[in-house]
Structure 1
Amino acid sequence: MALDNSFFALVGLLLFIALIVYLKVPGMVARSLDKRADNIRDELEQAKRLREEAQALLSEYQKKRKEAEAEAAALLAAAEREAALLTEEARQKTEEFVARRNALSEQKIKQAETDAIDAVRSAAIDIAIAAAGKVIAAKTDKTTQTALFKDAVSKVQSRLN
Structure 2
Amino acid sequence: MKKLLAIFALGASPAMAASGKPFFSLSNTDFVVSIGFLVFIGIILYYKVPAKITGLLDARAAQIKAELDEARALRDEAKALLASYERKQKEVQEQSDRIVANAKEEAMTAAAQAKADLQTSIARRMAAAEDQIASAEASAIRAVREQAIAVAVAAAGDVLAKQMTAEGASASIDAAIKQVEAKLH
Report the TM range for the smaller structure's normalisation. 0.7 to 0.9
Q: Which one of 133, 138, 154 corresponds to residue 174 of structure 2? A: 154
* Bigger radius of gyration among the two: 2
- The total of aligned residue pairs comes to 157
Equivalent position amino acid for 1:154 in 2: D
Runs (4+) off by over 4 Å: none
Q: CA deviation at 1:96?
A: 0.9
Greater relative contact order, per chain length (Cα 8 Å cut-off, separation 6+): 2
- Corresponding residue for 2:106? 82
The corresponding residue for 2:116 is 92
**Counterpart in the other structure of 1:134:** 158
Which residue is equivalent to 1:53? Answer: 77
Which sits farther off after the overlay, 98-107 or 151-160? 151-160
5 Å-filtered alignment, 1:114-133, equals: 114-133=138-157
Structure 1 residues 82, 96: CA separation in 2 closer, same or farther (over 3 Å shift)? same
What amino acid is aligned across from residue 26 of structure 2 in structure 1? L
CA RMSD of aligned residues (A): 1.9
Q: Name structure 2 gaps, 5 residues minimum.
A: 1-21
TM-score (norm 1): 0.88
Q: 1:154 to 1:137 in 2, by over 3 A?
A: closer
| TM-score normalized by the length of structure 2 | 0.77
Q: What percent of counterpart residues are identical?
A: 37
Offset of 1:136 from its aligned partner?
Answer: 3.2
How far 1:6 moved relative to its partner? 2.9
- Whichever structure has more helix as a proportion of its residues is 1
Residues 2-21 of structure 1 show CA distances to partners (whole Å, capped at 9, x for unaligned) of: 53133332222222211111
Give the drift of 1:139. 4.2
| Correspondence 1:3 to 2:23 | no
Q: What secondary structure does 1:109 align onto?
A: helix
Aligned equivalents of 1:157, 1:20: Cα separation in 2: 161
Instruction: Report what 2:47 is aligned to.
Output: 23
**In structure 1, distance between residues paired with 2:48 and 2:94:** 68
